[in-house]
Amino acid sequence: MDAPYCSAFAALLLCAASAAPAAGAPKLVKLIKAARLIDSSGRVVTNAVLVIEDDRIVSVGGATPPPAGAQVIDVHTHMTYFWDGASGTRPRGNTRPAAVSMVLAQANLKKTLDAGVTTVRDLNASEYTDVAMRDLIRMGAWVGPRMFVAGYGLSITRQPFRPGAIPGPATADGVSEVIQRVRQQIAAGVDWVKVFGSTGSFEDVSQSQTFTYEEMKAAVDTAHALGKRIAIHSYGPDGARDAVRAGADSIEHATDIDDATIAEMARKGTWYVPTIDHNRYYAEHAGEYGFATGSVQRLNEFVARNLETARKAVKAGVKIAMGSDAVYSMFGENTRELGWLVKAGMTPAQALGAATANGAALLGMETSLGTLAPGFFADIVAVDGDPLSDVNVLIDRVRFVMKGGQVVVDRTGH
Ligand SMILES: [Zn+2]
């Protein structure tokens, strides 16, 4: 087989993929030669050769044993939140039908792939447009990251941060309504259940618990009984405490988690997705959103407290996965969260692990995603530089992305 070699990048991963159909077989076989292949635990294989058939890796050869993952998973996005940046408009409050926003949101899918992210967990969308998007990508009709979706996030009737908002179809009050709404989401084909367990969103930095412990417990038990995992959004210590006690699989955002709850998360194996960077993004884009005066300072304080909580969680050994909470104009910045994870005390290798093997484990996909090994999906990101010495290389210098054996980004110049 012809396997053209490409100039390897300065330090890390990969060079070119060479595609050649195997004789007499319909399978598409690709070879990738990598100057250095880096794994989710920071192990390096030099002069590695990966063989890919169709969407899977069949072998990984090199001077040292096969490594795990160099694929990036973002476990908290809002892919259907689309804004075209038209002058005189704001990201929020557009009146387009949800299906129109979904079609336009293909731009978000592309920006996310360009950032090297080949799998996302998407946590809240209208009219099951996330389910449709996931299926279009799965069918090959659209190009985008592999999606795990949640449909409507459940809210209580009166969300103090949305004054005047008309309660949506996933509003629930009391245990029986919660059970019904969770079942509705699962019936509609979601992969995950999402619950808004506290206030706090966009410029609102309040963190009051919304659903009671009993309601959260009902949501968790119903999701689990139907074989689904559940993510609970919870800013502030109260929502997080009850979400962890109730048995949520992942806690999103969660500033100011108390020490006892952090210890319980470590003991129970509850995932923490800090999403620190999205409040940095809101602070930098306060004008674009039309946020009130003073919001930048409040958001920056929020970032500092979120980082402090993440630091405690890292120290306590809580399992952490990388989530961006990307919305609207934030797509493409998905992996900037990695920089915060390093600031929170992770080594670059551990931060990479949060975005690869940990993301896969959170999704329950640890036997097919997050690792570069035979039988796994051939999702590969090549960067120009060494992310183990500077994690920003993965943020700014992605040159090549393969998803399921297909080259979806190629800026190698070959
Ligand atoms: Zn979110």
Q: Which of 359, 380, 381, 410 is nearest to 56 (CA)?
A: 380
Q: What is the pLDDT of residue 59?
A: 81
> In the prediction, which pLDDT does 45 show?
74
Q: Report the separation in Å between the CA atom of 32 and the middle of ligand 1, taken as the mean of its atom positions.
A: 35
Q: How many whole angstroms from 157 Cα to the centroid of ligand 1? A: 19
Given this model, what pLDDT does residue 160 score? 56
What pLDDT, on a 0 to 100 scale, did the predictor assign at position 11? Answer: 32
Tokens for 75? 């476990």
Q: Which of 49-53, 167-171, 326-330 has the lowest mean pLDDT?
A: 49-53
Reported residue count of the chain is 414
Res 31: pLDDT: 76
Rounded distance from Cα 408 to ligand 1 centre (Å): 26
Nearest to 117 by CA among 337, 264, 294: 337
pLDDT of 17 above 80: no
Tell me: the pLDDT tens digits for 228-246? 999 999 999 999 999 999 9
Non-local CB neighbours of 34 within 8 Å, separated by 6+ positions = 8, 12, 13, 14, 15, 45, 47, 48, 49, 50, 382
**Rounded to the nearest whole angstrom, what is the distance from the C-alpha of residue 173 to the centroid of ligand 1?**
21
Say whether pTM exceeds 0.85. yes
Looking at per-residue pLDDT, the higher value among 291 and 5 belongs to 291
On the question of pLDDT at 98 being above 70, the answer is: yes
195 neighbors 246 (Cβ within 8 angstroms): no
Taking the centre of ligand 1 as the mean of its atom positions, its distance from the CA of residue 140, in whole angstroms, is 26
Which of 149, 354, 133 shows the shortest CA–CA distance to 231? 149
The proportion of the chain whose per-residue pLDDT surpasses 90, expressed as a percent, equals: 67
What integer best gives the mean pLDDT of the chain? 88
234 C-alpha to center of ligand 1: Å? 10
Judge whether residue 165 has pLDDT over 70: no
Instruction: Give the rounded percent of residues in the chain with a pLDDT score beyond 70.
Output: 88
* More confident position, 36 or 202: 202
Mean pLDDT of 256-272: 98
